[in-house]
Amino acid sequence: MAQIGVTANTQLDMLRAFCTSPSLEECLDHRFQLEAALEEGVSEIIDLTGEDGSQETSSRQATVLGDEAQEYSSYELPNGVLLEPGKTVQLKQPVGAFQIEFVRIKSIRRPAWELDVGIRGLGFSRNENLNGMLPCWLNEVTMVAEFHNPNAIQWEQHSLIDVKVRDILCVRELRITNAPFPEHSSRASCQTSLGRRLSQEKQGPLVCRFRFQIQYLSDHNTVPFERALIKINEEEADTDYRIPDSVNLNRWRGGKVPGGSYRPGGPSDPIFDLEQSGPEPPHLTPRQRYTAGDVFSGAGGAARGMERAGVKLEFVVDNWSHAIESLRSNFPKTRVHGMSVADYCASGETKCKVDLMHLSPPCQYFSPAHTIRGKDDETNIRAFLTCPRIVERNKPRIFTMEETFGLLLDTHQIYLHKLIRGFVELGYSMRWRCVRLSSWGVPQTRQRFLMIGSAPGEKLPPFPPYTHSKDGNGGLQPWVTPQSALAAISPTIENELHRLEPDKHFKYPRERWDPTTLAKTITCSGGQNYHWSGERDFTLLEYAVLQGFPTWHRFKGKCIKKQIGNAFSPTVVKVFYEHLINWLLVQDGFDPAAVRQEYAREGMPSDLTADNYICLDDSYETGQTRKRKHCQVVYNSTCGGNQIDADEQDDELSDTVTVRAFTEEPEPHRGGAEDDVAADLHVFRRTRDESVGVERDLALVLWQAKDGQGTENDPFVLLD
């Protein structure tokens, strides 16, 4: 293949950022209003801001900066201690909600019209001040970056703090390192006397291994937009305390395979030792892909989205019998582990490395609707806290996690922080936020807690840019509405989940509602949703489509509405994992656009937008001899000439325009009206049992419902 190049009071004070409004929902509504106004700038992800301060007198080598400030190359304290940029000082009293006690100096300055000289720099807090998110090792500190701005690209300059020199206690040694604990630490053994330990705490070297970022959208917003706990990387570490990121990744998982661990025909567990790799640029092998696993899979919502993004889905895990039936039906070539996560972590057959992993642990206990004790609460909490063990078992380069937004409530903070600490002790970085899923194409008011984590030695990806906004401003698409989403279901479709049984119609009509607005959040019971006519409930298929499933996804077993309501929207997961695949490709030294072209040549998804694929398929009955189901796929002519492999090609049809109707056996394609479907797109047909109208220079292949994509009664035609 071608080359492609403390005290309880203090702890409570630090929680002010979590929720200061009467309710978390109100806080989030206010934040979402701000977010809508800033949607253009937020599309890339986090960022930061924070500025100015004040300070004291006397110095040497002062520079006048216009009318703004006087800057000093050094400053001598009354006790003779010399301050210079790059040195770290301890403050007489910690400052701020996160108890910042140390500052690494970036500049020494006296603001205009002030007599006090001050320092500006990055703040650090002892680990014990972060409410259990980090182990409380002696003299281990964390950089704190708190800022109010929707753009996080230049986080450092926006998170600097100002302190007066008169508030400085002394100079301390600070080691910023990307090495794991206990390297470079000032440890005290169990036999160390209390006096010696206190002396080390006051005078020993400080060590920083993580940065805690807290981002707000505006100065008036009191609820953080996003938080991140990021392991210091090679570029950020001090020169004397730096190791290659590749060493950290090798120590954790034995290296990586640039371009993905799935390589057909290659070794079953191909891992490249990054420390031994030469300067030769990486190459992709035929059909190479990133591998993934999905734990707490349910009916396969996340798994479906991951698969459609282009990963090789290695395994799914769930313990609910009905969900297991759905998983086996939809993913016949994927290992389905029907077991509890405790059994999964104990099994000798489940220990394998994957590049990517998703986790959707039980959310009932953390839901705002959970007001009374449930019989499964302890089981669900244990499963939730098992997530770090699962990650440790499969060692993904990147993981994602989805939960109810209620996890951010103060009452659940202890569980969230315990979860984070579990990941931190493995060396993972992570960022998390509450997201309105309509921003990624879900036609509901659904809000979820989402987290992205990266392994030791891997850079932490941002969240993917938003794709939708309420009014379609900033180059985004307007929100997907229930009306537009359900237009994908043909009026003539024959699907057992779409039967309008008499019990679906209400005895007394309900209030009509506008189908061009978002639906309510779909829950296990439907979430008080019903058809906008007010005359009936949604069918199960309609609920599934509103949740982001393709029309051909199979639901087996019982409790199907619950399976749908529990699912993480495949629409959102697809956006996430396309973004993460591109991120990994860049980290691995590839050009994502070029790799997508290679994917297209091999029948893997390349550009899966509605501009490139349109499905026009027909319902039919298997007993009919003349009427057959035909699938017409409009494939962008820019992909012409590429070989399509039916086994590997992904389908994006449910996210595009879908029309269904009966047709007779088609005449051979001669051009004409069908060519008007789209300006530069080709339309071709093929029946399930014979080819028709195939032009000589084009090869059609029938997609035979492999790898859980499509169904035997709903094949799709692909062409090159």
Residues of the chain with pLDDT > 90: what percent? 55
What average pLDDT does the structure give for the chain?
A: 77
Q: Is position 434 annotated as part of the catalytic site?
A: no
Cα–Cα distance between 225 and 432 in angstroms, integer? 9
Residue 557 corresponds to which amino acid?
G
Tell me whether residue 446 is in a domain.
yes
3-state per-residue secondary structure call for 679-696: CCEECCCECCCCECCCCC
DSSP 262: B
One domain for residues 271 and 190: no
Per-residue pLDDT at 626 exceeds 60: no
- Confidence grade of residue 33 (pLDDT, cut at 50, 70, 90): low
pLDDT of residue 236: 95
pLDDT of residue 78: 87
Tell me whether residue 285 is in a domain.
yes
Residues of the chain with pLDDT > 70: what percent? 71
Cα–Cα distance between 237 and 208 in angstroms, integer? 9
pLDDT of residue 276: 58
Asked whether the beta carbons of 70 and 110 are under 8 A apart, the reply is yes
One domain for residues 327 and 384: yes
Lowest-confidence pick of 116-120, 222-226, 335-339, 604-608: 604-608
Domain of residue 318 covers 249-459+570-575
Tell me whether residue 518 is in a domain.
no
Count structural domains, the chain.
3
Average pLDDT (244-270) is: 86
One domain for residues 228 and 333: no
Tell me whether residue 33 is in a domain.
no
One domain for residues 159 and 265: no
Tell me whether residue 221 is in a domain.
yes
Tell me whether residue 598 is in a domain.
yes
Average pLDDT (219-237) is: 92
Cα–Cα distance between 3 and 282 in angstroms, integer? 7
- Sign, CA dihedral 18-23-24-29, equals negative
Radius of gyration of the chain from its Cα atoms, rounded to whole angstroms? 28
Please report, for the domain that includes residue 308, its CATH number.
3.40.50.150
Choose among 440, 557, 441: nearest CA to 488. Answer: 441
Q: From the candidates 363, 387, 615, 631, give the one annotated as an active-site residue.
A: 363
Please report, for the domain that includes residue 191, its CATH number.
2.30.30.490
Tell me whether residue 125 is in a domain.
yes
pTM of the predicted model as reported, rounded to 2 decimal places: 0.76
Choose among 719, 712, 660: nearest CA to 689. Answer: 712
What is the separation, in whole angstroms, between the first and last Cα of the chain? 19
One domain for residues 340 and 230: no
pLDDT of residue 491: 86
Encode pLDDT of 440-494 as tens digits: 999 999 999 999 999 999 999 999 999 999 998 888 999 999 999 999 898 888 8
One domain for residues 335 and 443: yes
Average pLDDT (606-633) is: 33
pLDDT of residue 660: 26
One domain for residues 383 and 253: yes
Q: Both tokens of residue 704?
A: 């035979």
Tell me whether residue 357 is in a domain.
yes
58: left (phi over 0), alpha (psi -120 to 50) or beta: left
One domain for residues 254 and 381: yes
> In terms of C-beta distances under 8 Å and separation of at least 24 residues, what long-range contacts does 25-30 make, across chains too?
25/368, 27/222, 27/223, 28/223, 28/405, 28/434, 28/447, 30/221, 30/223
Q: Of residues 376 and 239, which shows the higher confidence score?
A: 239
Which of 540, 575, 610 represents a domain boundary (last residue)?
Answer: 575
Which of 214, 241, 268 represents a domain boundary (last residue)?
Answer: 241
One domain for residues 70 and 164: yes
Per-residue pLDDT at 620 exceeds 70: no
CA 413, 414, 418, 419: dihedral to nearest 10 degrees?
Answer: -40
Which of 548, 575, 602 represents a domain boundary (last residue)?
Answer: 575
One domain for residues 191 and 230: yes
One domain for residues 75 and 223: yes
One domain for residues 214 and 319: no
Cα–Cα distance between 562 and 486 in angstroms, integer? 20
